[in-house]
Amino acid sequence: MKEQGLVSTFTVAQFEPQRTPCNESKQANELNREFQQTEDKRAVVSDLTYVKVKSRWHYICVFVALFNRDIIGSSAGPKYLYR
């Protein structure tokens, strides 16, 4: 292919490696595993994940109050790469 000047159109999905160890953020552990809260919205946690829909990546983010485990906010949409 190189001699003929041909270029393959087949690509494999590639993911960037994690630059920091998983679950090792610079944020301090303020909850200290005390997930049972006594006040509403005193502690709010979130989760962000990506899902592939029709061959395009979209994000889903959910905010949950630890007091009663209610979803207090959410967001979803297409993934935009900012570089």
Q: How far apart are CA 51 and CA 48, in angstroms?
A: 10
Residue 69 forms part of a structural domain: yes
pLDDT at site 25: 67
- Residue 11, sorted as left (phi over 0), alpha (psi -120 to 50) or beta, turns out to be beta
Q: What angle do CA 25, 45, 43 make, to 5 degrees?
A: 110
Residue 74 forms part of a structural domain: yes
Please determine, for residue 82, whether its predicted confidence score (pLDDT) is greater than 60. Answer: no
83 pLDDT tier (thresholds 50, 70, 90): very low
Please determine, for residue 14, whether its predicted confidence score (pLDDT) is greater than 50. Answer: yes
Residue 56 forms part of a structural domain: yes
Computed over every residue of the chain, the mean pLDDT equals 81
The separation between the first and the last C-alpha atoms of the chain, rounded to the nearest angstrom, is 32
pTM: 0.56
How many domains in the chain? Answer: 1
